[in-house]
Amino acid sequence: MTNSKAGFTRVALYGGAFDPVHDAHLRVASYALKQVGLERVLFIPSAQSPLKQNPPRASDEERVEMLELATDGERRYRVETYEVEKGGISYTFETVLHFSQEYPNAELFWMVGADQFEQLDRWRNIEALAGRVTFLVFGRPGYSHQACDIPGLKYFTVDAPQMDESSTDIRRLRRAGESVTGMLPVAVEAFISEEGLYTGVE
């Protein structure tokens, strides 16, 4: 059987908790599509980040559903459940190896916020990872784009406005009973409301 993914040449992997996915996630992906000439952006919800102590508040199924709702209608976006199906700690290097096989002819990019970019020296197998991907770095309030001193590191700074939305803020507002309108895709906000997500103590 022919691998339908073999024809892709520029693919970005966008990992994160997406707890929940919000408008800034989508806008950053849109800027990256245009500036780097990407053919596909893969949204990859993590099972558990090695650099975060607490697990996601929403379930794997809920986070996947929110991503599906948020990306519906954009043919270049795809939600991939590799990490949540695998379970355990989600290490970027293992994820990149997996999608290197899925997209054997593609140049791979990894999308990362400036806050995480400053911590690359803490990532597992970072030198080997740096040899396999180009990092697409987008701004986060209060963080620079200072690169770690990692041999072979390749990165591109996505030219996008600083965006204030964060999943943490959305969860905080929900706990306080305040509106999150304008921070999320309408379908995602409706899903969160219907399911009663993020209303308990975090």
Distance CA 198, CA 63 (A): 12
Distance CA 56, CA 58 (A): 6
pLDDT, one tens digit per residue, over 44-71 is 999 988 877 788 999 999 999 999 999 9
pLDDT, one tens digit per residue, over 94-138 is 999 999 999 999 999 999 988 888 889 999 999 999 999 999 999
Say which residue the tokens 């040449």 belong to. 9
Say which residue the tokens 């409706």 belong to. 190
- pTM score of the predicted model: 0.93
Q: Phi then psi for 158, rounded to 5 degrees?
A: -75, 125
- Topology of domain 10-139+157-195, per CATH? Rossmann fold (3.40.50)
Mean pLDDT score of the chain: 92
Distance CA 65, CA 173 (A): 21
Distance CA 72, CA 64 (A): 12
